[in-house]
Amino acid sequence: MPKVETFDKSLVIEQVTDVFHDKGFNATSMQDIVDATGLNRSSIYNSFENKHNLFLECLIAYQDKNRNRLSERVLKAGSSIEAINMIFKIYLEEITKHENDKGCLIVNCASEMANHNEVITRFLQNNKDEMIKLFEDLVQDGQVNGLINKRKSANEYGLYLYSSLLGFRMTGILISDRTALESITKTITQTLT
């Protein structure tokens, strides 16, 4: 009977996500993955087939975690404008948590791999559509309730907020000063009111 190695898949995904997040997809070697997980190469290949598939699983887990974190706090917000502010606040907290911020795994992935790999590009496109839709729905709600101005349509503001969030998350790689970061988020969101 072949030796069957069992492992905690979600723990492995978490360990490998940290490596990908720190080094990026291309700079992560199979040896890095072996070192981070303690698994041998054949177990990794048997379970995930290749580095791309393993990376995609990490992206999906990271997206799920982000999605849960966002929706949980967005639901608690008293109004749609508070919910939008909350989204930027969550990213602000993420940026200021570590001294040498490495950015967002998904944004970094877009910069490193979009338009190179079809499956990854599809993941990134879906993630983008989901974020725009989230902002669009919040803006629409805010416009109905008179909390957000109607100078732009909900779709236009959705696009703007998505682009602004990407920029804010990227800026956090090079700026760690909380006052500067808070100022940026305020200017972004005050456009809506």
Contact 192, 84 (CB under 8 A): yes
For the CA atoms of 57, 61, 62, 67, the dihedral, rounded to the nearest 10 degrees, stands at: 140
Closest approach of a second copy to the CB of residue 142, in Å: 15
Q: Are 181 and 172 in contact (CB under 8 A)?
A: yes
> Which residue in this structure is represented by tokens 């000063």?
177
Residue 112 makes contact with a second copy by CB under 8 A: yes
Instruction: Please identify, using beta-carbon distances, which residue of 147 and 159 lies nearer to a second copy.
Output: 159
Q: Copy the structure tokens of residue 126.
A: 């879906």
Applying CB under 8 A, which of residues 40, 42, 111, 149 lies at the interface with a second copy? 111
Q: Which residues contact 38 (CB under 8 A, 6 or more apart)?
A: none
Which 158-187 residues touch a second copy, going by CB under 8 A? 159-160, 162-168, 170-171, 173-175, 180, 183-184, 187
Distances (CA, A) of 37 to 34, 83, 123, 151: 5, 37, 25, 51
Query: CA nearest 114: which of 59, 70, 160, 172?
Result: 59
Nearer to a second copy, 74 or 173 (CB): 173
Q: Is 151 in the site for a second copy (CB under 8 A)?
A: yes
Shortest reach from residue 188's CB to a second copy, in Å: 7
CB of 82 to a second copy, least distance (A): 20
Q: For residue 67, give both structure tokens.
A: 């999605």
Residue ranges that bind a second copy, judged by CB under 8 A: 23-24, 26-27, 100-103, 107-108, 110-112, 114-116, 124-125, 128, 151-152, 156-157, 159-160, 162-168, 170-171, 173-175, 180, 183-184, 187-188, 190-191
